Chains A and B, each alone.
Chain A
Amino acid sequence: MSPELIQYIQTFDDGREPALENLGGKGASLVSMTAAGMPVPPGFVVTTACYDAFVAEAGIAKQVTTLLDGLDADNVEEVDRVSAAIREDLCSRPVPDTARRAVVEAYTALMEICGDGAPVAVRSSATAEDLPDASFAGQQDTYLWLSGLPAVTEHIRRCWASLFTSRAITYRLKNNIPNEGLSMAVVVQKMVNARVAGVAITMNPANGDRSKLTIDSSWGVGEMVVSGQVTPDNIVMDKITLQVVSEHIGDKHAELVPDAASATLVEREVSADRTGIRSLTDAELTQVAKMAKRAEKHYKCPQDIEWAIDADLPDGENLLLLQSRPETVHSNGTAGQQPTASSQPKNPATGAFDLGSITQSLMGTGR
């Protein structure tokens, strides 16, 4: 991407430092996760610079100042009228050529990785307290299953326009938040087409043993694992050496798979030849475990991650991290049970080691 375009776009993995003011909270988080070896579904951020260039060149910035000047937050009708006018402009006025080219190039490159016409999600990524609350922005401005450039650019504009919903305008007026410098980044990201998916916990949740790592895995999208609708494969691994300590093959009778035509997930039976075998190969199992370990290291506490292996992406790039959150049930615990050996008084005659426990080991009480 040429230097004049690069300010408008940041792909998740292009190595640039994630700056909140350019990428918004969501965009910055996706870039930093990718950099930390936790590959989220691939995509790019349309930066705040892109929005800024658009509203400046299209004359929208000036108009916004005029329209909002002296607006009464309690005059609902007037707020609605102003909101509609601004959003109409944001959705219709021409985008500057360089900004448009940047988005087109980034989208084309993404389609090269994912396969032509692969559905994407478009989501707003606000930079600050410009909007009522995070959930407002997040919920209202996530558009799923978008295919083709026209649909993508249309929804980028819709995300921009969400800065000026009536509710957002009223919120800023009442909280004295200035409209100068108001901006919005937008995330464009591949929709996950999970062949296999599940969760991984960087400990053994059965006993809180932090030297283990537990993976649940089933065919298709991970929702059925998370909600307990299928019995997934359950694998306990040694977290340090990644050796399999125990594994149970679940029956995995059903799977959810994306259906782009209806833009939903559809449930189907899993064929008999796939129910009896483990849904992850040895190599995939190791990859999932390593990613979970990286997440734990990155966040500095035991993690509970959701992951998927994407059917569209090439091997080596197809393992995706969908979510990572602290494991809360056991995190306060120590590794395993309290050992009985260390509670024995040390024999002073033996210095650094404890003969009492050696005796105990040999007598089979410490097994």
Chain B
Amino acid sequence: MSAKSFPKPSELPVPEGAEGWEKLYPYYLVFQDKLKAIEDEKFWFCDSQHWPTVFKPFETVGTEFASKCLGQYNARHLMIPTAKGIDFRIHLGYLYFSPLPVPEEEIAARVPEFQARVGHYFQNWDTLLQQWKTKVLGTIDEMETLEFKPLPDMVPMEDIISGKGTDGSEVLLENYDRLIQLAYQNWQYHFEFLNLGYIAYLDFFNYCKEIFPGIPDQSIATMVQGVDMELFRPDDELKQLATLAVELGLQDRFAKPDDVDVTLASIGAADGGQKWLDRWAEAQDPWFNFTVGNGFYGHDKYWNEHLEIPLGYIADYIRRLDEGQDIMRPKEALIAEKDRIVEEYRELLDGEQLATFDAKRGLAATAYPYVENHNFYIEHWTMGVFWRKVRELSRTMHGYGFWEHEDDLLYLGRNEVRDALFDLVASWGVGNPEGPIGPHVWPEIIAERTALVSALKTARPAPALNTPPEAITEPFTRMLWGITTEQVESWLGAGEEGSDGVLKGMAASPGIVEGVARVIMDADDLSQIQQDEILVAPVTAPSWGPIFGKIKATVTDIGGMMSHAAIVCREYALPAVTGTGSASTTIKTGQRLRVDGNKGTVLVLDGDHAATVVEGPGAHSHQHAVTAEEGATADV
């Protein structure tokens, strides 16, 4: 490793207009001047995989719960011998992580605890996972019951008669606290099996690297990956609905999927339309608890609240069916290829090696589906309900004049919301005709914070901060985020090497294709993607499922072998290069790319960043000449 470093937090320029951004977030989430010496010693990497855009103050709730709960399972539940949790800070609006190692002298004492705890879970996997599902669904059910209604003019007579003695404002306060608590609860459950899934995977991973030195990461992932998982169910439901629509001859009813009411009414009026509507209703619970985002932002849209999204996907599937395309994932081919790969590696082993290989692979394959499926239950379903309730509360407070826009609550921290709620119930309780104080305070603060968030959004995060260690060894860092020694070196060298048009990342899903890039910075822009384009994004979410049937390959800035983009691309048999660091900022929509998912390289074939050595049919070079007089760009 070279002596080079990433910038210190204090060295990163504050975007114009973002001065004083620190007050958006609680004190414990930002780097502190008094801790500068300690915090600058640590290596921090940016997690733009899960948090690609700037946090509004309320939205830190997701990262605080997720980061804390990830850590507790390493540090306190499973007693992983070498790894504690991952410390986290927000800097200039983006999230940075720093893994916490276990001090050398504490490792030995943790080993027996770790073995007993992990052993118990693996031995009782099915029972405990069933119990997990009950707990998680119970949390969601309770969350659904929480209401944030305006307060009545007077306490109802029946409460007087029954001698209840409270005015109902406590329900508003309790429900808010309960909502936060229930989200916290399911985030704890989220990691109950996730870390175990990674441990089992990592154990198999390391064994493979040992007996087959240099085995590609991709081969190992393929050997444990499930093909038919719950996470893909929402998309499969849409495909089935599209197929049914074609069977019933309803294609012409999907001309304007953006107008949900008209579309559904028109379907209902058609012969066989009721049959389709019944199927449509059946699919929604629970599979439309699905977001086009990743569950961490208040602006994420959920299918069941935006039916035009699934209707649009269905319309697109119908079009492809009518063109004679096969819209189903190549499940059988994927299973056959997985079986072949497993069998050919097995053929190289015998005796105890084979038995060990089978046992480790078996464990990893058992644990693996959770790594994907939990995502539906927590990020999609739980968080879908959570954000819906938050918006309900925000609307209610908006009704009391707290802020200008319905969703402005997101510009308050979650503990500030609690203060504002008490302001509300207090002014209501005393019968103050002026109403609460908040409407005189928050709009100004919200305007200031809105400007700060917008200003922060004008800059992308640094991939990492401070001096990296000699080698990145923390297993979860590598598995989850694809942060390896080589990757860090590549980021450090990117400034000089970036201009030759070759981006390097992880070979996350095999195959080589050429095609036109479509850079997507926000899930709301997904509709721009055209058939057979190459998706380039800071990060993808598996809920973009229907898009993966349309594109030729995926390139992301962040993510390892187990990132969502990697998993979903292997599932769809599309090439993927993940963790390139800068693809979404260096590649422009319309450029031709050559994506090599076997080597983990992306070649820009034309435009400003064209590679000097190119090959293949797409290798022709467009040179853009700008004439100063016209300011025009033309192909020459």
Is B626's CB within 8 Å of the partner chain A?
no
For the complex formed, measure the closest distance between the CB of A71 and the CB atoms of chain B, giving whole angstroms. Answer: 57
Question: Which residue of chain B has the shortest Cβ distance to A351 in the bound complex?
Answer: B123
Chain A, 217-243, CB within 8 A of any chain B CB: 236, 238-243
Is B545's CB within 8 Å of the partner chain A?
no
A341-361: CB near B (< 8 Å → 1, else 0) gives 110000101111111111101
Q: For B111, give its contact among A281, A337, A359, A364 (CB under 8 Å).
A: A359
The reply to whether B216 and A245 form a contact with Cβ atoms under 8 Å apart is yes
Interface residues in B, total, Cβ within 8 A: 55
Q: Which residues of B contact A157 (CB under 8 A)?
A: none
Task: Answer whether A240 and B118 are a contact pair too, CB < 8 Å, given A335-B349, A339-B356.
Answer: no
A310-352: CB near B (< 8 Å → 1, else 0) gives 0000000000000000000000001111011110000101111
For the complex formed, measure the closest distance between the CB of B75 and the CB atoms of chain A, giving whole angstroms. Answer: 13
Q: Which of B61-69, B86-94, B204-212, B279-287 has 4 or more CB atoms under 8 Å from chain A?
A: B204-212
Chain A, 57-105, CB within 8 A of any chain B CB: none
Q: A245-B214, A347-B115 are in contact. List 6 more A-B contacts (CB 8 A).
A: A212-B214, A241-B341, A243-B510, A350-B123, A358-B118, A361-B202
The reply to whether A341 and B83 form a contact with Cβ atoms under 8 Å apart is no
For the complex formed, measure the closest distance between the CB of A259 and the CB atoms of chain B, giving whole angstroms. Answer: 29
Is A363's CB within 8 Å of the partner chain B?
yes
Q: Which residues of B contact A207 (CB under 8 A)?
A: 213
**Counting chain A CB atoms within 10 Å of each CB, which of B122, B215, B507 scores highest?**
B215
Q: For B206, give its contact among A240, A245, A366 (CB under 8 Å).
A: A366
Is B599's CB within 8 Å of the partner chain A?
yes
Task: Answer whether A362 and B81 are a contact pair too, CB < 8 Å, given A334-B353, A350-B123.
Answer: yes
Is A282's CB within 8 Å of the partner chain B?
yes
10 contacts between A and B (CB under 8 A): A238-B214, A238-B219, A240-B340, A243-B216, A243-B219, A244-B599, A342-B352, A357-B207, A363-B107, A366-B206
Which A-B residue pairs are the 3 nearest by beta carbons?
Answer: A211-B212, A361-B206, A342-B356
The reply to whether A336 and B115 form a contact with Cβ atoms under 8 Å apart is no
Is A246's CB within 8 Å of the partner chain B?
yes
Task: Answer whether A335 and B212 are a contact pair too, CB < 8 Å, given A342-B356, A353-B122.
Answer: yes
For the complex formed, measure the closest distance between the CB of B189 and the CB atoms of chain A, giving whole angstroms. Answer: 23
The reply to whether A341 and B207 form a contact with Cβ atoms under 8 Å apart is yes
Q: Which residues of A contact B507 (CB under 8 A)?
A: 243
For the complex formed, measure the closest distance between the CB of B142 and the CB atoms of chain A, giving whole angstroms. Answer: 36
Interface residues in A, total, Cβ within 8 A: 45
Chain B, 494-552, CB within 8 A of any chain A CB: 507, 510, 512
What is the CA–CA distance of A43 and B210 in the complex, to the nearest angstrom? 46
Q: For A362, give its contact among B199, B209, B218 (CB under 8 Å).
A: B199
Is A174's CB within 8 Å of the partner chain B?
no
Question: Which residue of chain B has the shortest Cβ distance to A245 in the bound complex?
Answer: B214
What is the CA–CA distance of A209 and B215 in the complex, to the nearest angstrom? 10
What is the CA–CA distance of A350 and B199 in the complex, to the nearest angstrom? 15
Q: For B353, give its contact among A238, A246, A339 (CB under 8 Å).
A: A339
Q: For A246, give its contact among B214, B356, B473, B596 (CB under 8 Å).
A: B214
Is B635's CB within 8 Å of the partner chain A?
no
Q: Which residues of B contact A238 (CB under 8 A)?
A: 212, 214-216, 219
The reply to whether B119 and A349 form a contact with Cβ atoms under 8 Å apart is yes
Chain B, 329-346, CB within 8 A of any chain A CB: 340-341, 344-345
Q: Which residues of A contact B359 (CB under 8 A)?
A: 352-354
